[in-house]
Amino acid sequence: MDAGVVAAALEEARFDARQASRYEDLADDLRGPAELAEWERIAALLAAAPAGTVYDPDVDDVVQAELAADAAAAAREAELHEAVRIAARANHLQVLRDLGTLDQAEPAEGDEAARDELTRRTGGYVQADVDAWLAHALAAHRGHYRDPAARHAAAGLLTPPVLAHAALLGELLRLVPGADVGELAFAARLAATEPEAVDALAALLTRALTPGSWA
């Protein structure tokens, strides 16, 4: 906007303010005075600038500061909403644990964070049953782990023992498709103590079970 456009907008805002002052029901309306003050500020900026300067909100420090404040407030609100959602999901998983039905639940997006929340609540104690549930789900591609992107993301969200457990389970289930979960309980114990060795074993099994991989 050039100075002429700003001057016209300022005059219109002043006219609206004079009109509003005549009506009692509009006396408490803060939008009009705020709009007038903003146009006065912009007009003052152009008056102090070299002749021919146009107003650009992208280089207006006040506007940019307001936008940054709005973005920060929105981010804080989103973080709070996500924290509430994670806490609610952690509560739900805890109920399923108490009922002994966790293994029947389908994992959902964000359960990695719910797992961390449960661990935080217990002062860092490893949630062995939740870890095993997530590892089984990851290995079997259950729930949101059906999506390859979710499985890829899990590599940065789950602990090395859980990932190693899932990797070994996946190869063992390929080797013995009908194996019962109870028969593979040893995989969790191995992964908890030697996750790097379990990763190496899973990689070796992958090569053994993939035709042509030894060529």
Please write the tens of the pLDDT for every residue from 74-97: 999 999 999 999 999 999 999 999
Please check the confidence at residue 26 and state whether its pLDDT lies above 60: no
Gyration radius of the chain's alpha carbons: 30
Work out the pLDDT band at 48, boundaries 50, 70, 90.
confident
pLDDT at 126 (0 to 100): 78
Mean pLDDT of the chain, nearest integer: 89
Q: Residue 172, class by beta-carbon neighbours within 10 Å (0-12 exposed, 13-18 middle, 19+ buried)?
A: buried
- The CA distance from 59 to 19, in Å, is 33
Please check the confidence at residue 27 and state whether its pLDDT lies above 60: no
Spell out a b/e string for 30-53, using b for 16 or more CB atoms within 10 Å of the CB, else e. eebeebbeebeebbeebeeeeeee
Model confidence, pTM: 0.69
Q: H or E element: which one contains 162?
A: helix 160-175
pLDDT at 24 (0 to 100): 61
Number of Cβ within 10 Å of residue 141's Cβ equals: 14
pLDDT at 109 (0 to 100): 93
- The CA distance from 201 to 194, in Å, is 11
pLDDT at 180 (0 to 100): 80
pLDDT at 10 (0 to 100): 86
Contact 132, 165 (CB under 8 A): yes
Read off the pLDDT of residues 157-190 as tens digits, 9 standing for 90 and up. Answer: 999 999 999 999 999 988 888 888 788 889 999 9
Number of Cβ within 10 Å of residue 19's Cβ equals: 11
